[in-house]
Amino acid sequence: MKTHRVLFLVLVLGVPGLITFGQGKATSPAKRQATLDLAAKLLAPRTDPAAALPAGMVNPFNPTASRKPGISSPSAGNDRELLEKIVARITPSGAMMMRGHPILLLGEKKLKVGDTLTINFEGADYVVVITEINPTSFKVRLNREEVTRPIKSGKAP
């Protein structure tokens, strides 16, 4: 136990002392000025950071930039129409109750309320949230818009 304390003290007190011991040499003013110039260059704000990106790359911090050429990001007014098109791609095989909770069946996937589903639509990935599951329908949300869709079983009536 005592050796652990000694080792701890040597590491805590000795290592920083050894590091600073070797730094006793003074640097020349020219070398310091070169370091200060480099730091000023690195810290200087850029006027147009998007201009520095290679061609074909999209600035991830620009919300108005499209993800792929020819595909514009949806505006708030188009969320409802977009969600209806996206939800048309979701084809559940049914719904069931498991341990008292409703489950939406999508092939091998079993989704519950609150789960997310990523749908690729026109080259962009959209994440929708399952907000409600009933025996005959389910509800999904994209941003602030919600759409209810029926669950169509594969069986003929």
Please indicate, yes or no, if residue 69 is contained in any of the structural domains.
no
Question: Is residue 137 domain-resident?
Answer: yes
Domain encompassing residue 81: 76-150
CA distance 53 to 123: 22
pLDDT band at 157 (very low <50, low <70, confident <90, very high): very low
Q: How far apart are CA 15 and CA 157, in angstroms?
A: 79
Q: How many CB atoms lie within 10 A of CB 143?
A: 15
Looking at the structure of the chain, the number of domains it has is 1
Q: For residue 81, count CB atoms less than 10 angstroms from its CB and return exposed for 0-12, middle for 13-18, buried for 19 or more.
A: exposed
Coil, strand, or helix at residue 10? helix
Q: Are 72 and 66 in contact (CB under 8 A)?
A: yes
13 confidence band (pLDDT: 50, 70, 90): low
Is residue 135 situated within a structural domain? yes
60 occurs within a structural domain: no
Render pLDDT for 76-110 as a digit per residue (tens, 0 to 9): 447 788 888 888 888 888 888 888 889 888 888 88
Among 76, 67, 79, smallest CA distance to 141 is for: 79
Q: Does any domain span residue 44?
A: no
- Strand, helix or coil for residue 97: strand
Q: Is residue 99 part of a domain?
A: yes
Write down the pTM of the prediction.
Answer: 0.48
Interval 22-78: pLDDT, tens: 555 677 888 999 999 988 888 877 666 555 666 666 666 666 655 544 344 444 447
The answer to whether residue 2 sits within a structural domain is: no
Confirm whether 63 is domain-assigned: no
